[in-house]
Amino acid sequence: MNNRSHRAFKEQLYDQFVRIGRALANPHRLELLDLLAQSERTVEDLAHEAGMSVANASQHLQTLRAAQLVEVRRDGLYGYYRLADDSVFRLWQAIRDVGETRLAEVERVVRTFLDDRDSLQAVSAEELVELLHDDRVIVLDVRPAEEYRAGHIPGARCLPVAELEARLRELPKNREIIAYCRGPYCVFADEAVALLRAHGYRARRFAQGLPDWRVAGLPVERLEGDEP
């Protein structure tokens, strides 16, 4: 390969990688990837969760699809979007990790909006693996029920945070509760732990979320009959 063809090869190769960078260079698209890591969803569901119009969400999804980061499954009039594979979540995970390490602003934003998080005593994945075998512990999935059905930590109970206060009597006070949700920047588990403690329960939160648990190779259960 001569120098001229070598340069052409490199330029064309890196130009393809830039497609991924361009697709990710938008906060709304990163949030959509985070949501799709929980379960496949329609554009209407994603728009509602992300606080966007359907048209805007659809445009962002088309950009992600053009970069081969998401796929769509058609079912009648509806299209169900999902991550292309686990490597897409690992890419978002890597961006998170680098941002936390290199950008002081990330920690500042987290502390500004989640100033009491340190008091919630986060549980690591390694510790949670051990606690799954402890009959004195209840693992609580506080995400929406459809996300629980798509995949959850084995043995976890489904109790969405929006329903938690009305259903507190379902939880015994003589057992510790570990709540988890979508990931490290999801506030559902924080809200659940704060509510549980206010009512006299012993509660902590899982430091990560179901997608992090899954890509670490840890076991995940699904309810029968749900689409993969």
> Helices 54-66 and 3-24 sit at what angle, rounded to 10 degrees?
150
* Catalytic residue status for 181: yes
Give the helix ranges, DSSP H, for 151-209.
161-164, 188-198
**Which H/E stretch holds residue 107?**
helix 104-113
Quote the radius of gyration of the chain (alpha carbons, Å). 20
Closest CA to 164 of 195, 186, 197, 202: 195
27 to 4, 11, 40, 153, 177: CA distances (angstroms) = 38, 27, 19, 28, 33
Which residue among 177, 181, 192, 203 is the active-site one?
181
Return the SS3 of 174.
coil
- Please list the active-site residues: 181
